[in-house]
Amino acid sequence: MDWRSERPQGGTTTRRARTEHPGQQPIGNAFRADIEGLRAIAVLLVVAYHFKLGPFHGGLVGVDVFFVLSGFLITSLLIRELQSTGTVSLPDFWARRVRRLLPASCLVIVVTVIAARWMFSPVLLKDVGRDAVAAALFVVNIVFARRNSDYLGAQAAATSPSPLLHFWSLALEEQFYVVWPVLVMFAGRARDRMRAITGLIVGLGSVSLLACLWYTKYSPVWAFYLLPTRAWELLAGAALAVIGTRVVRIPEQARAVLGWVGLLGIVVASLVISDGTAFPGFAALLPVLCTVAVITAGGAVTRNGPLTFLRAGPLQWVGKRSYAIYLWHWPVFILADAQWGPLNVPQRIGAVAIAGSLATISFILVEDPARRSPWFSTQARRGLVIGACLVAVSTFAGVLTVRSEVRTSGGGDVAAPDLGIDGTDGGTTDTTNPTDLTAPETTPTGPTNTLDPGTVYSLNDLIERNAKVLDASLLASDVPSNLTPGFNTISKDLPALYSDGCLLDPGTIESGTCTYGDPTSPIKVALVGDSHAAQWFPALDSIATKRGWRLLVLVKKGCAMAEFVTFDESNRKRTECGPWREAVMNRLKSEEPNLILVGSYRYRLTNRPAKSNARSQWLAALTPTLTSLRGLTDKLIVIGDIPHPESWPAKCLANNLSTARDCLVDRSKAERKPVVDAEVGAAKAADATYMKVSDWMCNLQQCAVMLGNIQMYRDDNHIGATASKYFAPFVEAVAVPLLPA
């Protein structure tokens, strides 16, 4: 982020605009102490938000402040260059950006990936390497958007967010720096260059704001991370740069009041915006407009104006180092939390001190010398070559991290789980004793059920067979060397629905055809619900293929079929679930399936649910939905939810390679009994079959995170596709007896 006002520095000569009175300084003057102070406030809000210090639940608005500042400062520079030379030198502009931004950011990237090698979970290490490459190439915001990384809910997530997550805003601004000067250069060739630039700002800013509002409603993650939906914030600052000296026509007292109102508004935004706010959207207008107000106040020097406050020594000191503080604070927090977390308040304050110290050191030794270096700044080509080298070094560090090998097992190979283990169906491995888990010479990497494919086993029989594998897995201490999927691939162990478009994302209501198996089969089976229904697709797909069923899949992320309002990880209401449910019901009416399987996550029904009424809430929400679904099919199966671990098991296993039992989950905690009772009651009332899958993964006391060599959970609340396929015989045992022969 180019948050620094232009200062005279070694190797360059910066003309200072002539003024007659401090209160009459042009708004785009060379150095603005008020902007330095505003920069300090912005970075302090961001740090307080990330470190959970104080009531600043919306401290992320500090980034919006920086966007406006960057748009204002950069456009001011471009306009001054246009006015003095008649054009914009793109090499000179980009070389200046390289000098100001890349030395410090590349240092942080390299140090972060090195530190992550020792402090971060091995499960996530390769992702850190990929993020480093993307950050070095200025596209990490797109990577996080595609990964569906919820920035607002990152601190509440069960899996550690990337230590380079904060680079999304740097990437976004760098993309702006590539495009905007080119547009300004071409607009500057018009007969009335200022009118042309103004037209660009108004046109692009309006489109960007409309896109932001739309995407915030239907695809908030994309609205948050991408330049097209954030450009209006930078262009708000650009508009102020175009207005220029006309601002000084506002009476100085009025500008002072405007400045105080703006500062107050920024603080209010940081207090009232929360993880439950639809953001950026309309909510981002408050910090953006308030930042514009503070900049507009400019150099108003009335006794009671904000300039006196903003140019206070401590704020100037922090503001001068704001870029370095922003770069260091997040990786320090995330890596410390991964190693010693969850951090308490004194530890978080200590982490802030460490981040501040690193920022000060890097500012003194790297950022400021690079910015002032005459050698670095005299030739644009030299600066661009050095920038390319810095990018190459950062990229190389990320690639090495992606390709690095880490210890991922605590023992030898373990036999793949086999439901034919009693010997009658081909299995020969006795797994009743944990010491007998050693694999044969050739070890399958996934489920190897030697059950007779032509036989439908009873569910009780399968549970009994599985109990032998389950008990052995619960007693195992070592993570097997042939763990499948491995730590590097478990998060990608997804159903095909994630790639073929049939698991609907936010913003999408209507499903495509989404049929599998035999499209001409008279036996029609439908799977409906959210991603917790979708996790059973691999099992159902294999059954449908084997038995020649026509399988219809109608699933959407974050939307249950039950008639209640759900909330995402950031406490935001999901407003599109109702229309989606209506579309699903209409599709089911037209399809007339023989069997419907419905499943969902156990959502919170309100922002702050009372535990005492959880059962009644769920019963009231589920019963009418199941009754409606039952009227559309011959048979209905309610898929009970899987046991929920308290954190991502893969991360725990990677950190406990020889003490895997530390990662087991108490069944009483993993299974919310009031909700299970409600599901059973609602299923009974609707004449539906309840499929209690927790019986497949748990004994009476504990729930497994591995079965044989299979790693069960791909995140903190979904089983992987490999585990789903292993349980296919269980699903088959429940479903087949309900269908026509």
In this predicted structure, which of 127-141, 431-445, 683-697 has the lowest mean pLDDT? Answer: 431-445
216, 217, 230, 284, 576 from 212: Cα distances, Å: 6, 9, 7, 10, 17
Task: Report how far residue 540's alpha carbon sits from residue 470's, in angstroms, rounded to the nearest whole number.
Answer: 22
- CA dihedral (364, 370, 372, 374) in degrees, to 10, reads 140
- The pLDDT-based confidence of 424 (bands split at 50, 70, 90) is very low
Q: Are 416 and 445 spatial neighbours (Cβ–Cβ below 8 Å)?
A: yes
Read out DSSP for 423-480?
TTTS-----SSGGG-B--SS--SS----S-TT----HHHHHHHHHHHHHHHHH--SPP
580: left (phi over 0), alpha (psi -120 to 50) or beta: alpha
646 vs 268, residue with greater confidence: 268
Name which residue leads in pLDDT, 356 or 126: 356
Check pLDDT > 90 for residue 381: no
d(CA 64, CA 564): 34
Model confidence band, residue 26 (pLDDT cutoffs 50, 70, 90): very low
What pLDDT is recorded for position 417?
85
Beta bridge partners of 599: 529, 639
Q: In the predicted model, is pLDDT for residue 393 greater than 70?
A: yes
pLDDT at residue number 454 = 66
Amino acid making up residue 177:
Y
* Residue the block writes with tokens 């929360």: 274
Cβ pair 546, 453 in contact under 8 A: yes
Residue appearing with tokens 């927790």: 694
pLDDT bracket for residue 22 (50, 70, 90): very low
Each residue's pLDDT tens digit, 234-249: 999 999 999 876 766 7
In this predicted structure, the answer to whether residue 623 has a pLDDT above a threshold of 70 is: yes
Check pLDDT > 80 for residue 275: no
Confidence of residue 379 (pLDDT cuts 50, 70, 90): confident
Stretch (H or E) spanning 646: none
Return the pLDDT at 524: 97
Would you state the pLDDT for residue 452?
Answer: 64
493-643+670-693+715-738: what CATH class? alpha beta
What is the rounded distance in angstroms from the CA atom of residue 476 to the CA atom of residue 702? Answer: 13
Average pLDDT, stretch 664-670? 91
Quote the CA–CA distance of 56 and 463 in Å, as a whole number.
Answer: 50
pLDDT of the residue at 49: 95
For position 300, what pLDDT does the model report?
Answer: 61
**What is the average pLDDT score of the chain?**
86
**The pLDDT of residue 314:** 96
Q: With bands split at pLDDT 50, 70 and 90, how would you rate the model's confidence at 569?
A: low
- Mean pLDDT, range 177-190, rounded to an integer: 95
State both tokens at 118: 């020792």
Kindly state the tokens that stand for 238.
């650009």
> What tokens appear for 393 in the block?
């070094």
pLDDT at res. 13: 37
Of the ranges 49-53, 244-248, 265-269, 454-458, which one carries the lowest mean pLDDT score? 244-248
Per-residue pLDDT of 308-366, as tens digits, reads 899 999 999 999 999 999 999 999 999 999 888 789 999 999 999 999 999 999 999 99
For residues 205 and 622, the model is more confident at: 205
Contact 739, 635 (CB under 8 A): yes
Q: Is the pLDDT of residue 615 over 90?
A: no
**Left if phi > 0, otherwise alpha if psi is -120 to 50, otherwise beta: which for 89?**
beta
pLDDT at residue 5 is higher than 60: no
Amino acid 255: pLDDT = 86
Amino acid type, 222: W
Local confidence band at 9 (pLDDT 50, 70, 90 cut-offs):
very low
pLDDT exceeds cutoff 50 at 439: no
Whether 562 has a pLDDT exceeding 80, the answer reads: yes
| Largest distance between two CA atoms of the chain | 98
Query: Would you state the pLDDT for residue 19?
Result: 36
Residues 6+ positions from 585 with CB-CB distance below 8 Å: 628, 632
Judge if the upstream peptide bond of residue 643 is cis by omega within 30 degrees of 0.
no
Q: Are strands 550-556 and 710-711 parallel, antiparallel or unpaired?
A: unpaired
CA angle 167, 171, 175 (to 5 degrees): 170
Asked if the model's pLDDT at residue 76 lies above 60, the reply is yes
Is the pLDDT score of 423 beyond 70?
A: no
* 445 vs 498, higher pLDDT: 498
Q: What is the pLDDT of residue 606?
A: 46
Among 152-161, 446-455, 538-547, 698-707, the minimum mean pLDDT is found in 152-161
Cβ atoms of 712 and 706 closer than 8 Å: yes
CA dihedral 185, 88, 42, 105 (to 10 degrees): 110
In this prediction, residues 472-479 reach a mean pLDDT of: 92
Residue 163: pLDDT band with limits 50, 70, 90: very high
H-helix or E-strand containing 344? Answer: none
CB atoms near residue 613 (< 10 Å)? 14
For residues 27 and 244, the answer to whether their CB atoms sit within 8 Å is yes
C-beta of residue 171 within 8 angstroms of C-beta of residue 145: no
Q: Which of 41-55, 195-209, 427-441 has the lowest mean pLDDT?
A: 427-441
pLDDT higher than threshold 80 for residue 408: no
Confidence of residue 160 (pLDDT cuts 50, 70, 90): confident
C-alpha 277, offset from chain centre: 16
pLDDT band at 558 (very low <50, low <70, confident <90, very high): confident
The answer, yes or no, to whether residue 205 has pLDDT greater than 80, is: yes
**CATH 3.40.50.1110 segments of the chain:** 493-643+670-693+715-738
Indicate whether 233 pLDDT > 90.
Answer: yes
Q: How many CB atoms lie within 10 A of CB 240?
A: 24
Share of the chain above pLDDT 70, in %: 85
Q: What are phi and psi of 135, to 5 degrees?
A: -65, -40
Residue 362, SS3 per DSSP? helix
Q: What is the pLDDT of residue 445?
A: 54
Residue with tokens 């070095």: 136
Kindly tell me if the per-residue pLDDT of 94 is higher than 50.
yes
Whether the model clears a pTM of 0.85, i.e. scores above it, the answer is: no
Highest-scoring range by mean pLDDT, 393-407, 430-444, 462-476, 541-555: 541-555
Cα(first)–Cα(last) distance of the chain, in Å? 66
Token pair belonging to 561:
């079929």
Does position 81 have pLDDT exceeding 50, yes or no? yes
Which H or E run contains 331? helix 322-340
Q: Where does residue 435 rank: exposed (0-12), middle (13-18), buried (19+ CB within 10 A)?
A: exposed
Confidence band of 437 (pLDDT split at 50, 70, 90):
very low
- Strand 702-703 and strand 665-666: the pairing is antiparallel
